[in-house]
Structure 1
Protein backbone atom coordinates (compact mmCIF):
# COMPACT_ATOMS: atom_id res chain seq x y z
CA UNK A 1 0.00 0.00 0.00
CA UNK A 2 1.41 3.37 -1.03
CA UNK A 3 2.06 6.25 1.34
CA UNK A 4 -1.00 8.40 1.99
CA UNK A 5 -1.52 11.71 0.21
CA UNK A 6 -3.43 14.69 1.58
CA UNK A 7 -6.08 17.06 0.25
CA UNK A 8 -8.03 19.75 2.10
CA UNK A 9 -11.77 20.18 1.58
CA UNK A 10 -13.53 23.04 3.34
CA UNK A 11 -10.80 23.18 6.01
CA UNK A 12 -10.96 19.41 6.60
CA UNK A 13 -7.75 17.44 5.98
CA UNK A 14 -8.46 14.19 4.14
CA UNK A 15 -6.02 11.34 3.49
CA UNK A 16 -5.88 9.32 0.26
CA UNK A 17 -3.97 6.14 -0.47
CA UNK A 18 -3.33 3.73 -3.31
CA UNK A 19 -4.80 0.25 -2.84
CA UNK A 20 -4.20 -2.34 -5.58
CA UNK A 21 -3.59 0.47 -8.06
CA UNK A 22 -6.80 2.37 -7.24
CA UNK A 23 -7.39 5.60 -5.31
CA UNK A 24 -9.04 5.21 -1.90
CA UNK A 25 -10.20 8.16 0.23
CA UNK A 26 -10.44 8.22 4.02
CA UNK A 27 -14.15 8.55 4.78
CA UNK A 28 -13.32 8.76 8.50
CA UNK A 29 -11.65 12.10 7.74
CA UNK A 30 -14.62 13.09 5.62
CA UNK A 31 -17.02 12.33 8.47
CA UNK A 32 -15.20 14.89 10.62
CA UNK A 33 -16.74 17.58 8.43
CA UNK A 34 -20.12 16.62 9.89
CA UNK A 35 -19.24 15.83 13.49
CA UNK A 36 -16.32 15.73 15.92
CA UNK A 37 -13.58 13.15 15.58
CA UNK A 38 -14.91 10.88 18.35
CA UNK A 39 -18.22 10.34 16.52
CA UNK A 40 -16.89 9.96 12.98
CA UNK A 41 -17.29 6.16 13.15
CA UNK A 42 -20.97 6.58 14.09
CA UNK A 43 -21.59 8.73 11.01
CA UNK A 44 -20.15 5.96 8.82
CA UNK A 45 -22.17 3.24 10.56
CA UNK A 46 -25.40 5.20 10.20
CA UNK A 47 -24.64 5.72 6.50
CA UNK A 48 -23.70 2.14 5.70
CA UNK A 49 -26.75 0.59 7.37
CA UNK A 50 -29.30 2.26 5.06
CA UNK A 51 -30.85 0.33 2.20
CA UNK A 52 -29.82 2.94 -0.37
CA UNK A 53 -26.17 2.74 0.68
CA UNK A 54 -26.16 -1.07 0.79
CA UNK A 55 -27.64 -1.26 -2.70
CA UNK A 56 -24.95 1.12 -3.97
CA UNK A 57 -22.13 -0.82 -2.25
CA UNK A 58 -23.50 -4.18 -3.42
CA UNK A 59 -23.83 -3.00 -7.02
CA UNK A 60 -20.28 -1.63 -6.99
CA UNK A 61 -18.90 -4.91 -5.63
CA UNK A 62 -20.81 -6.97 -8.21
CA UNK A 63 -19.22 -4.90 -10.98
CA UNK A 64 -15.62 -4.87 -9.71
CA UNK A 65 -15.27 -7.81 -7.31
CA UNK A 66 -15.64 -11.36 -8.67
CA UNK A 67 -15.23 -12.77 -5.15
CA UNK A 68 -18.07 -10.74 -3.65
CA UNK A 69 -20.43 -12.87 -1.54
CA UNK A 70 -23.83 -12.00 -2.95
CA UNK A 71 -25.77 -14.25 -0.56
CA UNK A 72 -24.38 -12.41 2.47
CA UNK A 73 -25.13 -9.12 0.77
CA UNK A 74 -28.77 -10.11 0.21
CA UNK A 75 -29.02 -11.03 3.91
CA UNK A 76 -27.86 -7.55 4.93
CA UNK A 77 -30.18 -5.91 2.42
CA UNK A 78 -33.26 -7.61 3.88
CA UNK A 79 -32.40 -6.15 7.31
CA UNK A 80 -31.58 -2.66 6.11
CA UNK A 81 -33.78 -0.02 7.64
CA UNK A 82 -34.81 -2.08 10.66
CA UNK A 83 -34.24 -0.24 13.98
CA UNK A 84 -32.23 -3.19 15.30
CA UNK A 85 -29.93 -3.42 12.27
CA UNK A 86 -26.36 -2.34 12.94
CA UNK A 87 -23.48 -2.68 10.48
CA UNK A 88 -19.86 -1.51 10.60
CA UNK A 89 -17.42 -1.30 7.68
CA UNK A 90 -15.38 -4.13 9.23
CA UNK A 91 -18.43 -6.41 9.43
CA UNK A 92 -19.35 -5.56 5.85
CA UNK A 93 -15.89 -6.53 4.59
CA UNK A 94 -15.59 -9.69 6.68
CA UNK A 95 -19.04 -11.05 5.78
CA UNK A 96 -19.17 -10.16 2.07
CA UNK A 97 -15.46 -10.17 1.13
CA UNK A 98 -15.90 -6.60 -0.11
CA UNK A 99 -12.95 -4.68 -1.58
CA UNK A 100 -14.52 -1.23 -1.95
CA UNK A 101 -13.95 -0.37 1.71
CA UNK A 102 -11.18 -1.24 4.16
CA UNK A 103 -9.90 -0.06 7.53
CA UNK A 104 -6.32 0.43 8.67
CA UNK A 105 -4.50 1.54 11.80
CA UNK A 106 -1.55 3.89 12.23
CA UNK A 107 -0.82 7.51 11.52
CA UNK A 108 -3.16 7.67 8.54
CA UNK A 109 -5.59 5.16 10.00
CA UNK A 110 -9.34 5.08 9.52
CA UNK A 111 -11.90 3.69 7.11
CA UNK A 112 -10.97 4.12 3.45
CA UNK A 113 -13.29 3.74 0.48
CA UNK A 114 -12.73 3.55 -3.26
CA UNK A 115 -13.15 7.00 -4.76
CA UNK A 116 -16.51 6.01 -6.32
CA UNK A 117 -17.83 5.04 -2.89
CA UNK A 118 -16.18 7.99 -1.12
CA UNK A 119 -17.88 10.43 -3.48
CA UNK A 120 -21.21 8.72 -2.70
CA UNK A 121 -20.46 9.06 1.02
CA UNK A 122 -19.86 12.76 0.39
CA UNK A 123 -23.59 13.12 -0.22
CA UNK A 124 -24.14 12.08 3.42
CA UNK A 125 -22.04 15.07 4.49
CA UNK A 126 -23.52 17.67 2.14
CA UNK A 127 -23.89 18.33 -1.57
CA UNK A 128 -21.51 21.27 -1.26
CA UNK A 129 -18.86 19.18 0.51
CA UNK A 130 -19.17 16.45 -2.14
CA UNK A 131 -18.62 18.90 -4.98
CA UNK A 132 -15.56 20.45 -3.34
CA UNK A 133 -14.20 16.98 -2.62
CA UNK A 134 -14.46 16.00 -6.29
CA UNK A 135 -12.87 19.29 -7.31
CA UNK A 136 -9.88 18.84 -4.96
CA UNK A 137 -9.44 15.21 -5.99
CA UNK A 138 -9.36 16.19 -9.66
CA UNK A 139 -6.81 18.91 -8.91
CA UNK A 140 -4.59 16.35 -7.16
CA UNK A 141 -4.74 13.96 -10.11
CA UNK A 142 -3.93 16.76 -12.55
CA UNK A 143 -0.86 17.67 -10.46
CA UNK A 144 0.25 14.02 -10.40
CA UNK A 145 -0.15 13.72 -14.17
CA UNK A 146 1.92 16.87 -14.68
CA UNK A 147 4.74 15.51 -12.48
CA UNK A 148 4.66 12.18 -14.31
CA UNK A 149 4.88 13.92 -17.68
CA UNK A 150 7.82 16.02 -16.47
CA UNK A 151 9.62 12.91 -15.18
CA UNK A 152 8.96 11.05 -18.47
CA UNK A 153 10.45 13.96 -20.46
CA UNK A 154 13.47 14.02 -18.14
CA UNK A 155 14.11 10.31 -18.68
CA UNK A 156 13.59 10.71 -22.44
CA UNK A 157 16.24 13.46 -22.48
CA UNK A 158 18.60 11.31 -20.40
CA UNK A 159 18.23 8.45 -22.87
CA UNK A 160 19.07 10.79 -25.76
CA UNK A 161 22.16 12.19 -23.98
CA UNK A 162 23.45 8.70 -23.21
CA UNK A 163 22.84 7.67 -26.81
CA UNK A 164 25.21 10.44 -27.90
CA UNK A 165 27.91 8.93 -25.65
CA UNK A 166 27.13 5.57 -27.18
CA UNK A 167 27.50 6.76 -30.78
CA UNK A 168 30.82 8.44 -29.93
CA UNK A 169 32.15 5.05 -28.83
CA UNK A 170 31.02 3.53 -32.14
CA UNK A 171 32.93 6.22 -34.05
CA UNK A 172 36.00 5.54 -31.95
CA UNK A 173 36.12 1.75 -32.15
CA UNK A 174 33.77 0.33 -34.79
CA UNK A 175 33.66 2.62 -37.79
CA UNK A 176 36.64 2.22 -40.14
CA UNK A 177 38.10 5.42 -41.55
CA UNK A 178 36.83 6.89 -44.78
CA UNK A 179 33.53 4.99 -44.90
CA UNK A 180 30.69 6.47 -46.88
CA UNK A 181 27.77 8.04 -45.06
CA UNK A 182 25.59 5.07 -45.98
CA UNK A 183 28.09 2.60 -44.50
CA UNK A 184 28.32 4.67 -41.33
CA UNK A 185 24.55 4.75 -40.93
CA UNK A 186 24.41 0.97 -41.29
CA UNK A 187 26.85 0.57 -38.40
CA UNK A 188 24.78 2.94 -36.27
CA UNK A 189 21.59 1.03 -37.10
CA UNK A 190 23.23 -2.24 -36.14
CA UNK A 191 24.33 -0.92 -32.74
CA UNK A 192 20.98 0.75 -32.09
CA UNK A 193 19.22 -2.53 -32.80
CA UNK A 194 21.64 -4.31 -30.50
CA UNK A 195 20.20 -2.22 -27.66
CA UNK A 196 16.67 -2.66 -29.00
CA UNK A 197 17.10 -6.43 -28.99
CA UNK A 198 18.62 -6.40 -25.49
CA UNK A 199 15.70 -4.45 -24.00
CA UNK A 200 12.70 -4.81 -26.33
CA UNK A 201 13.44 -8.21 -27.88
CA UNK A 202 13.01 -6.84 -31.41
CA UNK A 203 14.63 -4.51 -33.92
CA UNK A 204 13.25 -1.13 -34.97
CA UNK A 205 12.18 -2.68 -38.28
CA UNK A 206 10.32 -5.45 -36.47
CA UNK A 207 8.50 -2.87 -34.36
CA UNK A 208 7.52 -0.78 -37.39
CA UNK A 209 6.16 -3.89 -39.10
CA UNK A 210 4.03 -4.66 -36.04
CA UNK A 211 2.86 -1.05 -35.66
CA UNK A 212 2.38 0.33 -39.19
CA UNK A 213 -0.01 3.08 -38.08
CA UNK A 214 1.99 4.27 -35.05
CA UNK A 215 3.38 7.79 -34.81
CA UNK A 216 7.06 7.98 -33.91
CA UNK A 217 9.35 5.05 -33.21
CA UNK A 218 9.61 2.26 -30.67
CA UNK A 219 11.46 4.46 -28.18
CA UNK A 220 8.74 7.10 -28.36
CA UNK A 221 6.35 4.27 -27.43
CA UNK A 222 8.52 3.09 -24.52
CA UNK A 223 7.31 3.02 -20.93
CA UNK A 224 8.92 5.04 -18.14
CA UNK A 225 10.64 1.87 -16.84
CA UNK A 226 12.01 1.04 -20.30
CA UNK A 227 13.42 4.54 -20.74
CA UNK A 228 15.12 4.38 -17.34
CA UNK A 229 16.67 1.01 -18.18
CA UNK A 230 17.56 2.10 -21.73
CA UNK A 231 19.75 4.94 -20.46
CA UNK A 232 21.97 2.44 -18.64
CA UNK A 233 22.77 -0.17 -21.37
CA UNK A 234 23.73 2.63 -23.76
CA UNK A 235 26.52 3.75 -21.41
CA UNK A 236 27.50 0.16 -20.60
CA UNK A 237 27.64 -0.76 -24.28
CA UNK A 238 30.05 2.12 -24.85
CA UNK A 239 32.37 0.61 -22.22
CA UNK A 240 32.04 -2.89 -23.70
CA UNK A 241 32.87 -1.53 -27.15
CA UNK A 242 36.06 0.05 -25.84
CA UNK A 243 36.93 -3.28 -24.22
CA UNK A 244 36.84 -4.90 -27.64
CA UNK A 245 33.89 -7.31 -27.08
CA UNK A 246 32.09 -8.47 -30.21
CA UNK A 247 28.37 -7.86 -30.72
CA UNK A 248 27.30 -11.34 -29.69
CA UNK A 249 29.13 -11.07 -26.36
CA UNK A 250 27.80 -7.58 -25.75
CA UNK A 251 24.21 -8.55 -26.59
CA UNK A 252 24.32 -11.39 -24.06
CA UNK A 253 25.60 -9.10 -21.30
CA UNK A 254 23.28 -6.21 -22.14
CA UNK A 255 20.23 -8.46 -22.24
CA UNK A 256 21.02 -9.84 -18.79
CA UNK A 257 21.54 -6.32 -17.43
CA UNK A 258 18.22 -5.19 -18.94
CA UNK A 259 16.38 -8.15 -17.40
CA UNK A 260 17.88 -7.52 -13.96
CA UNK A 261 17.23 -3.77 -13.99
CA UNK A 262 13.71 -4.05 -15.41
CA UNK A 263 12.81 -6.62 -12.76
CA UNK A 264 14.06 -4.25 -10.07
CA UNK A 265 12.23 -1.23 -11.50
CA UNK A 266 8.81 -2.82 -11.93
CA UNK A 267 8.91 -3.76 -8.24
CA UNK A 268 10.15 -0.34 -7.11
CA UNK A 269 7.55 1.39 -4.93
CA UNK A 270 8.93 4.89 -5.59
CA UNK A 271 8.57 4.48 -9.35
CA UNK A 272 5.04 3.14 -8.91
CA UNK A 273 4.12 6.32 -7.06
CA UNK A 274 4.87 8.33 -10.20
CA UNK A 275 2.12 6.53 -12.06
Structure 2
Protein backbone atom coordinates (compact mmCIF):
# COMPACT_ATOMS: atom_id res chain seq x y z
CA UNK A 1 0.00 0.00 0.00
CA UNK A 2 1.27 3.46 -0.95
CA UNK A 3 1.22 6.18 1.70
CA UNK A 4 1.15 9.73 0.33
CA UNK A 5 0.40 12.84 2.38
CA UNK A 6 -1.76 10.90 4.81
CA UNK A 7 -3.69 9.03 2.11
CA UNK A 8 -3.53 5.24 1.73
CA UNK A 9 -3.53 4.02 -1.86
CA UNK A 10 -4.12 0.36 -2.65
CA UNK A 11 -1.80 -1.47 -5.06
CA UNK A 12 -2.10 -4.99 -6.42
CA UNK A 13 -0.18 -7.12 -8.88
CA UNK A 14 -1.10 -10.41 -10.52
CA UNK A 15 2.28 -11.20 -12.07
CA UNK A 16 4.84 -9.20 -10.03
CA UNK A 17 5.53 -7.16 -13.14
CA UNK A 18 2.45 -5.05 -13.77
CA UNK A 19 1.18 -3.10 -10.78
CA UNK A 20 -2.33 -1.68 -10.65
CA UNK A 21 -2.89 1.35 -8.44
CA UNK A 22 -6.25 2.51 -7.11
CA UNK A 23 -7.50 5.57 -8.98
CA UNK A 24 -10.33 5.70 -6.46
CA UNK A 25 -7.86 6.22 -3.60
CA UNK A 26 -5.86 8.80 -5.55
CA UNK A 27 -9.05 10.71 -6.40
CA UNK A 28 -9.93 10.99 -2.70
CA UNK A 29 -7.12 13.52 -2.42
CA UNK A 30 -9.24 15.88 -4.51
CA UNK A 31 -12.80 15.03 -3.48
CA UNK A 32 -15.01 12.90 -1.25
CA UNK A 33 -16.70 11.77 -4.47
CA UNK A 34 -13.82 9.93 -6.18
CA UNK A 35 -15.99 8.35 -8.88
CA UNK A 36 -17.02 11.79 -10.12
CA UNK A 37 -13.37 12.84 -10.23
CA UNK A 38 -12.40 9.81 -12.32
CA UNK A 39 -15.27 10.31 -14.76
CA UNK A 40 -14.36 13.98 -15.12
CA UNK A 41 -10.75 13.02 -15.92
CA UNK A 42 -11.90 10.50 -18.50
CA UNK A 43 -13.94 13.15 -20.35
CA UNK A 44 -10.80 14.92 -21.53
CA UNK A 45 -9.47 14.50 -25.04
CA UNK A 46 -5.87 14.26 -23.81
CA UNK A 47 -6.89 11.50 -21.41
CA UNK A 48 -8.67 9.49 -24.09
CA UNK A 49 -5.72 9.81 -26.46
CA UNK A 50 -3.29 8.74 -23.72
CA UNK A 51 -5.42 5.73 -22.76
CA UNK A 52 -5.84 4.76 -26.40
CA UNK A 53 -2.11 4.92 -27.07
CA UNK A 54 -1.31 2.88 -23.94
CA UNK A 55 -3.79 0.18 -24.96
CA UNK A 56 -2.49 0.17 -28.53
CA UNK A 57 1.04 -0.45 -27.25
CA UNK A 58 0.11 -3.07 -24.65
CA UNK A 59 -3.17 -4.70 -25.61
CA UNK A 60 -3.48 -6.75 -28.82
CA UNK A 61 -7.24 -7.10 -28.24
CA UNK A 62 -7.91 -3.38 -27.94
CA UNK A 63 -10.94 -2.20 -29.93
CA UNK A 64 -9.76 0.77 -32.05
CA UNK A 65 -13.19 1.39 -33.58
CA UNK A 66 -14.83 2.11 -30.23
CA UNK A 67 -11.78 4.13 -29.22
CA UNK A 68 -12.10 6.36 -32.29
CA UNK A 69 -15.72 7.01 -31.37
CA UNK A 70 -14.75 8.14 -27.88
CA UNK A 71 -11.90 10.24 -29.22
CA UNK A 72 -14.23 12.10 -31.58
CA UNK A 73 -16.61 12.94 -28.73
CA UNK A 74 -14.03 13.68 -26.04
CA UNK A 75 -13.94 17.22 -24.75
CA UNK A 76 -17.49 18.14 -25.73
CA UNK A 77 -19.87 19.32 -23.02
CA UNK A 78 -22.24 16.39 -23.57
CA UNK A 79 -19.55 13.71 -23.45
CA UNK A 80 -19.42 11.43 -20.41
CA UNK A 81 -17.44 8.26 -19.88
CA UNK A 82 -17.23 5.88 -16.96
CA UNK A 83 -14.42 3.37 -16.38
CA UNK A 84 -16.81 0.43 -16.88
CA UNK A 85 -18.05 1.81 -20.18
CA UNK A 86 -14.48 2.30 -21.37
CA UNK A 87 -13.49 -1.23 -20.30
CA UNK A 88 -16.52 -2.94 -21.83
CA UNK A 89 -16.44 -0.98 -25.09
CA UNK A 90 -12.72 -1.09 -25.87
CA UNK A 91 -11.60 -4.34 -24.17
CA UNK A 92 -9.27 -2.24 -22.05
CA UNK A 93 -6.71 -3.95 -19.83
CA UNK A 94 -5.11 -0.79 -18.47
CA UNK A 95 -8.09 0.15 -16.31
CA UNK A 96 -9.84 -2.38 -14.08
CA UNK A 97 -13.00 -2.18 -11.97
CA UNK A 98 -12.89 -4.33 -8.84
CA UNK A 99 -15.67 -5.17 -6.42
CA UNK A 100 -15.44 -6.04 -2.76
CA UNK A 101 -13.83 -4.53 0.30
CA UNK A 102 -10.88 -3.06 -1.58
CA UNK A 103 -12.86 -2.47 -4.74
CA UNK A 104 -12.94 0.57 -6.95
CA UNK A 105 -11.23 1.66 -10.13
CA UNK A 106 -7.64 0.55 -10.58
CA UNK A 107 -5.23 1.37 -13.38
CA UNK A 108 -1.84 0.18 -14.54
CA UNK A 109 0.90 2.19 -12.83
CA UNK A 110 1.64 4.04 -16.10
CA UNK A 111 -1.94 5.27 -16.27
CA UNK A 112 -2.27 5.84 -12.53
CA UNK A 113 0.71 8.20 -12.56
CA UNK A 114 -0.84 10.14 -15.45
CA UNK A 115 -4.05 10.43 -13.43
CA UNK A 116 -2.07 11.56 -10.38
CA UNK A 117 -0.45 14.30 -12.48
CA UNK A 118 -3.91 15.54 -13.42
CA UNK A 119 -4.94 15.53 -9.75
CA UNK A 120 -1.84 17.28 -8.41
CA UNK A 121 1.80 17.35 -9.48
CA UNK A 122 2.84 17.60 -5.83
CA UNK A 123 0.68 14.65 -4.81
CA UNK A 124 2.07 12.61 -7.69
CA UNK A 125 5.63 13.13 -6.41
CA UNK A 126 4.63 11.85 -2.97
CA UNK A 127 3.04 8.81 -4.62
CA UNK A 128 6.15 8.14 -6.70
CA UNK A 129 8.40 8.44 -3.65
CA UNK A 130 6.50 5.82 -1.65
CA UNK A 131 5.92 3.62 -4.69
CA UNK A 132 9.68 3.42 -5.16
CA UNK A 133 10.03 2.35 -1.53
CA UNK A 134 7.51 -0.44 -2.07
CA UNK A 135 9.30 -1.68 -5.19
CA UNK A 136 12.67 -1.68 -3.41
CA UNK A 137 11.20 -3.74 -0.55
CA UNK A 138 9.57 -6.09 -3.03
CA UNK A 139 12.77 -6.58 -5.01
CA UNK A 140 14.66 -7.26 -1.79
CA UNK A 141 12.17 -9.96 -0.77
CA UNK A 142 12.26 -11.53 -4.22
CA UNK A 143 16.05 -11.58 -4.10
CA UNK A 144 15.99 -13.37 -0.73
CA UNK A 145 13.45 -15.86 -2.07
CA UNK A 146 15.55 -16.47 -5.17
CA UNK A 147 18.63 -17.13 -3.03
CA UNK A 148 16.64 -19.54 -0.86
CA UNK A 149 15.49 -21.54 -3.86
CA UNK A 150 19.03 -21.49 -5.28
CA UNK A 151 20.27 -23.04 -2.03
CA UNK A 152 17.49 -25.64 -2.15
CA UNK A 153 18.55 -26.44 -5.69
CA UNK A 154 22.17 -26.86 -4.55
CA UNK A 155 21.11 -29.20 -1.73
CA UNK A 156 19.07 -31.27 -4.16
CA UNK A 157 22.04 -31.33 -6.51
CA UNK A 158 24.13 -32.94 -3.75
CA UNK A 159 21.39 -35.53 -3.18
CA UNK A 160 21.31 -36.06 -6.92
CA UNK A 161 25.08 -36.56 -7.24
CA UNK A 162 25.14 -38.88 -4.22
CA UNK A 163 22.61 -41.08 -6.00
CA UNK A 164 24.76 -41.06 -9.13
CA UNK A 165 27.83 -41.99 -7.10
CA UNK A 166 26.07 -44.81 -5.27
CA UNK A 167 24.18 -46.40 -8.14
CA UNK A 168 25.88 -45.46 -11.41
CA UNK A 169 29.61 -45.19 -10.73
CA UNK A 170 30.76 -48.52 -9.37
CA UNK A 171 32.56 -49.35 -12.59
CA UNK A 172 34.01 -45.92 -13.44
CA UNK A 173 37.54 -44.60 -12.91
CA UNK A 174 38.28 -41.33 -11.10
CA UNK A 175 38.82 -39.60 -14.46
CA UNK A 176 35.44 -40.81 -15.63
CA UNK A 177 33.57 -39.68 -12.53
CA UNK A 178 33.62 -36.00 -13.46
CA UNK A 179 32.22 -36.76 -16.90
CA UNK A 180 29.36 -38.75 -15.46
CA UNK A 181 28.43 -35.98 -13.05
CA UNK A 182 28.46 -33.45 -15.86
CA UNK A 183 26.46 -35.79 -18.05
CA UNK A 184 23.67 -36.11 -15.48
CA UNK A 185 23.69 -32.38 -14.74
CA UNK A 186 23.57 -31.61 -18.44
CA UNK A 187 20.68 -34.00 -18.89
CA UNK A 188 18.70 -31.88 -16.44
CA UNK A 189 19.91 -28.70 -18.13
CA UNK A 190 18.61 -29.95 -21.46
CA UNK A 191 15.36 -31.18 -19.90
CA UNK A 192 14.65 -27.79 -18.32
CA UNK A 193 16.60 -25.16 -20.27
CA UNK A 194 16.82 -27.02 -23.59
CA UNK A 195 20.60 -26.56 -23.75
CA UNK A 196 23.79 -27.94 -22.24
CA UNK A 197 26.01 -25.93 -19.89
CA UNK A 198 28.68 -25.61 -22.59
CA UNK A 199 26.16 -24.18 -25.03
CA UNK A 200 25.03 -21.61 -22.47
CA UNK A 201 28.63 -20.54 -21.76
CA UNK A 202 29.33 -20.15 -25.47
CA UNK A 203 26.20 -18.04 -25.89
CA UNK A 204 26.94 -15.92 -22.80
CA UNK A 205 30.73 -15.45 -22.62
CA UNK A 206 30.44 -12.23 -20.60
CA UNK A 207 28.29 -13.68 -17.81
CA UNK A 208 29.81 -15.18 -14.69
CA UNK A 209 28.64 -18.42 -13.10
CA UNK A 210 26.36 -20.85 -14.90
CA UNK A 211 22.88 -20.88 -16.37
CA UNK A 212 21.33 -21.91 -13.06
CA UNK A 213 22.57 -18.68 -11.47
CA UNK A 214 20.39 -16.78 -13.93
CA UNK A 215 17.31 -18.98 -13.63
CA UNK A 216 13.95 -17.62 -12.50
CA UNK A 217 12.29 -18.62 -9.23
CA UNK A 218 9.94 -20.92 -11.13
CA UNK A 219 12.81 -22.59 -12.98
CA UNK A 220 14.75 -23.16 -9.75
CA UNK A 221 11.72 -24.78 -8.13
CA UNK A 222 11.22 -27.05 -11.13
CA UNK A 223 14.93 -27.88 -11.17
CA UNK A 224 14.92 -28.80 -7.47
CA UNK A 225 12.00 -31.17 -8.03
CA UNK A 226 13.60 -32.64 -11.14
CA UNK A 227 16.84 -33.37 -9.28
CA UNK A 228 14.96 -35.11 -6.48
CA UNK A 229 12.89 -37.16 -8.89
CA UNK A 230 15.91 -38.03 -11.01
CA UNK A 231 17.70 -39.33 -7.91
CA UNK A 232 14.71 -41.61 -7.25
CA UNK A 233 14.75 -42.85 -10.85
CA UNK A 234 18.49 -43.54 -10.60
CA UNK A 235 17.90 -45.62 -7.47
CA UNK A 236 15.30 -47.61 -9.40
CA UNK A 237 17.85 -48.34 -12.10
CA UNK A 238 16.07 -46.39 -14.83
CA UNK A 239 18.26 -45.77 -17.88
CA UNK A 240 19.21 -42.19 -18.67
CA UNK A 241 17.21 -42.07 -21.90
CA UNK A 242 14.07 -43.21 -20.09
CA UNK A 243 14.73 -40.76 -17.27
CA UNK A 244 15.04 -37.93 -19.78
CA UNK A 245 11.64 -38.79 -21.25
CA UNK A 246 10.11 -39.10 -17.78
CA UNK A 247 11.50 -35.78 -16.57
CA UNK A 248 10.37 -33.84 -19.62
TM (normalized to structure 1)?
Answer: 0.79
Residue among 45, 49, 52 paired with 1:51: 45
Separation in 2 of the partners of 1:13 and 1:91? 27
The 3 A distance-change label for structure 1 pair 105 and 224 is: same
Residue among 92, 101, 105 paired with 1:98: 92
Shift of 1:59: 3.0
Separation in 2 of the partners of 1:92 and 1:187? 60
Q: State the match for 2:154 in structure 1.
A: 160
1:112 is paired with a residue whose SS is strand
TM (normalized to structure 2)?
Answer: 0.86
Separation in 2 of the partners of 1:67 and 1:246? 47
Separation in 2 of the partners of 1:86 and 1:238? 64
Q: How many residues are paired up?
A: 247
The 3 A distance-change label for structure 1 pair 127 and 197 is: closer
The 3 A distance-change label for structure 1 pair 76 and 157 is: same
Q: State the match for 1:202 in structure 2.
A: 195
Counterparts of residues 1-275 of structure 1 (less than 5 Å): 6-18=1-13, 22-36=18-32, 39-176=33-170, 179-180=173-174, 182-255=175-248
Separation in 2 of the partners of 1:243 and 1:118? 56
The 3 A distance-change label for structure 1 pair 200 and 60 is: closer
The 3 A distance-change label for structure 1 pair 191 and 42 is: same
Q: How well do the aligned residues superpose, as a CA RMSD in angstroms?
A: 2.5
Shift of 1:156: 0.8
> 5+ residue gaps in structure 1?
1-5, 256-275
The 3 A distance-change label for structure 1 pair 164 and 69 is: closer
Shift of 1:70: 3.9
Q: Which moved more, 1:22-31 or 1:201-210?
A: 201-210
Separation in 2 of the partners of 1:205 and 1:253? 23
Shift of 1:55: 2.9
Shift of 1:71: 4.3
> 5+ residue gaps in structure 2?
none
The 3 A distance-change label for structure 1 pair 246 and 94 is: closer
Separation in 1 of the partners of 2:166 and 2:70? 75
Shift of 1:177: 7.0
Separation in 1 of the partners of 2:24 and 2:5? 15
Shift of 1:140: 1.3
